[in-house]
Amino acid sequence: MDRVVVVGSLNMDINFSVPHIPTVGETIIATGMSLHRGGKGANQAVAIARLGGNVEMIGAVGNDENGTLIIEGLKEEKVGIEGLMVKEGTPTGTAIISVAENGDNNIIVHSGANYQLGKEDIDKNIELIKSARYCVLQLEIPYEVVKYTIDICYENDVKVIFNPAPAVTNIDVDMLSRVEYFLPNESELNIIAGKTVTEENILETCREIIGKGCRNVIVTLGERGSLWVTESEHKYFEALKVNAVDTTAAGDSFIGAFTFMLARGNDTAEAIKFATRAAAVTVTRKGAQDSLPVLAEVL
* pLDDT over threshold 80, residue 148: yes
CB within 8 Å of 261: residues ≥ 6 apart: 270, 271, 274, 275
Instruction: Give tens-digit pLDDT for 19-39.
Output: 999 999 999 999 999 888 999
Domain residue limits, the chain: 3-10+38-92+113-298
Residue 176 pLDDT grade (very low, low, confident, very high; cuts 50, 70, 90): very high
One of 1.10.1370.30, 3.30.70.360, 3.40.1190.20, 1.20.120.1200 is the CATH number of 3-10+38-92+113-298, namely: 3.40.1190.20
pLDDT at 286: 80
Burial of 212 (0-12, 13-18, 19+ CB in 10 A): middle
pLDDT for res 152: 98
Q: Which residue has the higher pLDDT, 88 or 287?
A: 88
pLDDT of residue 103: 78
Q: Please state the rounded mean pLDDT for residues 275-279.
A: 97
- Residue 105: predicted pLDDT: 83
d(CA 136, CA 193): 22
Residue-wise DSSP of the chain? --EEEEE---EEEEEEEESSPPPTT-----SEEEEEEE-HHHHHHHHHHHTT-EEEEEEEEESSHHHHHHHHHHHHTT-EEEEEEEETTSPPEEEEEEEETTS-EEEEEE-GGGGG--HHHHHHTHHHHHT-SEEEE-SSS-HHHHHHHHHHHHHTTPEEEE---S--S---HHHHTT-SEE--BHHHHHHHHTS---TTTHHHHHHHHHTTT-SEEEEE-GGG-EEEE-SS-EEEEPPP----S--TTHHHHHHHHHHHHHHTT--HHHHHHHHHHHHHHHTTSSSSGGGPPPHHHH-
Q: How confident is the model at residue 287 (pLDDT cuts 50, 70, 90)?
A: confident
Cross-strand pairs, 94: 12, 110
Residue 210 has pLDDT above 90, yes or no: yes
Identify the band that residue 81 occupies on the pLDDT scale cut at 50, 70 and 90: very high
Nearest to 62 by CA among 114, 120, 10, 113: 113
The predicted pLDDT at position 182 comes to: 97
Give, in order, the Cα–Cα distances in Å from 133 to each of 106, 125, 129.
33, 15, 8
Q: 261 versus 103: which is more confidently predicted?
A: 261
Q: Which residues, in sequence order, are bridge partners of residue 38?
A: 11
Neighbours of 127 (CB within 10 A): 9
Q: Is the pLDDT of residue 248 over 80?
A: no
Positions marked active-site: 252
For position 15, what pLDDT does the model report? 86
pLDDT attached to residue 247: 80
pLDDT (0 to 100) of residue 244: 85
Please state, in angstroms and rounded to a whole number, the distance separating the CA atoms of residues 69 and 102.
Answer: 30
Where does the pLDDT of residue 245 fall: very low under 50, low under 70, confident under 90, or very high at 90 and above? confident
The half-sphere exposure of 140 on its side-chain side, counting CA atoms within 13 A, is 33
**Residue 107 pLDDT class (50, 70, 90 cuts):** confident
Averaged pLDDT of the chain: 94
Environment class of 186 (CB within 10 Å of its CB; exposed 0-12, middle 13-18, buried 19+): middle
Report the pLDDT value the prediction gives residue 163, as an integer from 0 to 100.
Answer: 97
Alpha-carbon distance of 175 to 219, in angstroms, equals: 18
Q: Which residues contact 275 (CB under 8 A, 6 or more apart)?
A: 253, 254, 255, 257, 258, 261
pLDDT of residue 162: 98
